[in-house]
């Protein structure tokens, strides 16, 4: 905004009048805005999923001669079960991400 738009001042700063010379967006600009919003929404969803899938760490723990898969999130460790094909499959992405 330019100084021409300032009509006074208040406790929160300058008081501005609405801009009279506003120009409508072209169809191309609107299309680009929609595209950017969609790409950003997909980026946010992917980032959230990645953060949730790889949050914390995983490790095998031996208890009374049996191995169990444990996951740590924040400060707490919780068991995901004894070592078997399912828990090994759950551990694989963690190992590929360098957290094994």
Domain parsing of the chain, residue ranges: 56-100
> Tokens representing 49?
């999923």
pLDDT for the residue numbered 99:
46
Over the stretch 15-63, which tens digit does the pLDDT of each residue have? 776 666 667 889 999 999 999 999 999 999 999 988 877 777 889 999 9
Angle at 48 between CA 47 and CA 49, to 5 degrees: 90
Tell me what the pLDDT averaged over the chain comes to. Answer: 82
Strand order from edge to edge, sheet including 76-82 = 57-63, 66-73, 76-82
What's the whole-model pTM score?
Answer: 0.43
Residue 22 to residues 6, 19, 31, Cα–Cα distance (Å): 16, 6, 19
């Amino acid at each position: 905004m330019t100084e021409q738009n300032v009509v006074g001042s208040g406790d929160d700063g300058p008081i501005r009048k609405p801009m009279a010379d506003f120009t409508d967006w072209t169809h191309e600009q609107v299309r680009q805005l929609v595209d950017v919003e969609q790409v950003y929404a997909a980026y946010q969803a992917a980032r959230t999923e990645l953060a949730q899938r790889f949050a914390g760490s995983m490790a095998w723990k031996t208890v009374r001669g049996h191995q169990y898969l444990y996951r740590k999130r924040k400060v707490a460790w919780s068991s995901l079960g004894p070592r078997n094909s399912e828990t090994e499959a759950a551990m694989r992405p963690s190992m590929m991400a360098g957290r094994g």
